[in-house]
Amino acid sequence: MGHTANSDRNYRLLQQRLDCAVTGAPQSPTLMKILKLLFSPEESEFARRIPSRPTPLDVLARKLGIAQDELCDRMTEMAHRGLMIDFEHNGQRYFALPPVVIGLFEFTFMRARDDLPMAELARLFEDYMGEDDRFARSVFQGQTQIGRSLVHEEALQGEGLTEILDWERASHIVRSASASAVSLCSCRHKASHLGRACDRPQQNCLSFNYAAKAMIRCGLAQSITTGEAMRILEECKEAGLAQTGDNVRRKVTYICNCCGCCCGMIQAIQTFDIRNAIVTSNWMMEVDLSRCKGCGMCVNACPVRAIEIAHQGEGERKRKWAALDHTLCLGCGVCYSACKSGGISMKPREPRVFTPETIFDRIVAMAIERGKLAQILFEEPEKLSHRALGRIFNILEKSPPFKAAMAIKPLRSAFLNALVKGAKEQSGEMRDLLE
């Protein structure tokens, strides 16, 4: 009885550690079931002691009091099962505890596997993500998100549309990557275990740069050439899929090829009306009323149901046209590719959307918006000093003066820059990969 109680306590503590991530992991009996399927009781106790920021193996070994070789073997085995993040840089190994998303969920479903009850996990993840809005709002609260929409570049034609920047182009992300890999789309793979996946291809989740190398080494993805990655990208656009990329300008780690029926981020938009779950591109659909025939092809193609057919008049005098909900439009350009009458174009969005420069900038911005700065700055609760500082800072960041200061753009920017600088210094040589 005591062993069971202690085991449950470790899983609760692991959940609390996961909830400290900027995307969160709200308590739920369903999440407890997921964690018990993924982690053994001993692993749950071990995993909760691993920081969420990439930490060198030698530092971890000293912190945990475990020999480096023994720890490396254990962490590597867990990374191959998708339970740890494993980076390598300049001969040094770095490990981190993955969040629920992007992390445990994707690592579970981004390949076919027979070592887990996949159908049961698919049902549990489906329930956890959709049983109520707590998880979705934990992930997508605030304005800075983990993913941003990438416009179909062929949709940008005409005057004034030449200012698309390199980091806005999916083609540039693919061609400039130092490494590329492909894996199963986690969302459609999960849906297939629930018996409701769409007929879109599944082998098209792309990862890049240091993330691709890590995924390949852990057996979570397959190495591909730049040409193969470009072919997958073009095939996905032809299949009417929307591209959602890492919400950073430099060293993008992934491009998802998303459908409206299976994608978890899009489901948050449709089910819970979280309209900013995916950051829009800097473009927006525009209808040419002189060409639009009101055929509805764009309505069927739009992944977020941002378009409907408006009409006026009756009988032979009835006129139909596509009408856009501007607050929903991702600026993905899928509608442009679906339109056969030339009635759709893309126009620049005003004001331009903010995109963090690096992963450091994104995590810190998300932490500020979500009240998670204390957790990421002081994530070693076993240290008395970290517990004390964490509590003090937690009170500070929730205070009206702090919130008021963060609402002032110059102050928020200066504070963000200082924290990003500190995060880079803490990461040591790892920052060369992430910047």
Structural tokens at position 286: 């525009």
Local confidence band at 172 (pLDDT 50, 70, 90 cut-offs): very high
Same domain, 268 and 146: yes
Of 140, 156, 123, 150, the closest CA to residue 34 belongs to: 123
**Domain annotation covers residue 127:** no
Contacts of 387 (CB under 8 A, 6+ apart): 378, 381
Average pLDDT over residues 294-309: 96
* Per-chain mean pLDDT for the chain: 87
Of 100, 363, 154, 148, the closest CA to residue 254 belongs to: 148
Same domain, 144 and 210: yes
Residue ranges making up the domain that contains 367: 359-434
Same domain, 288 and 268: no
Of 82, 70, 10, 71, the closest CA to residue 40 belongs to: 10
Same domain, 365 and 337: no
Out of 272, 301, 320, pick the residue that ends a domain.
272
**Domain annotation covers residue 354:** no
Q: What is the pLDDT of residue 354?
A: 86
Number of domains in the chain: 3
CATH code assigned at 297: 3.30.70.3270
Strand partners, 346: 285
Same domain, 331 and 379: no
**Domain annotation covers residue 56:** no
**Domain annotation covers residue 278:** no
Same domain, 245 and 293: no
Same domain, 163 and 189: yes
* Percentage above 70 pLDDT, the chain: 83
Same domain, 150 and 218: yes
Same domain, 144 and 252: yes
**Positive or negative torsion for Cα 367, 372, 377, 381:** negative
Same domain, 320 and 198: no
Structural tokens at position 180: 């590329």
**Domain annotation covers residue 79:** no
Out of 227, 246, 272, pick the residue that ends a domain.
272
Of 234, 283, 240, 282, the closest CA to residue 262 belongs to: 240
Asked if pLDDT for residue 273 goes beyond 60, the answer is yes
**Domain annotation covers residue 11:** no
Contacts of 66 (CB under 8 A, 6+ apart): 60, 74
Angstrom distance (rounded) from CA 4 to CA 19: 23
**Domain annotation covers residue 244:** yes
The tens digit of pLDDT for each residue in 31-80 reads: 999 999 999 999 999 999 999 888 899 999 999 999 999 999 999 999 99
Same domain, 143 and 259: yes
**Domain annotation covers residue 27:** no
Same domain, 298 and 410: no
Q: What is the pLDDT of residue 411?
A: 54
Asked if pLDDT for residue 350 goes beyond 70, the answer is yes
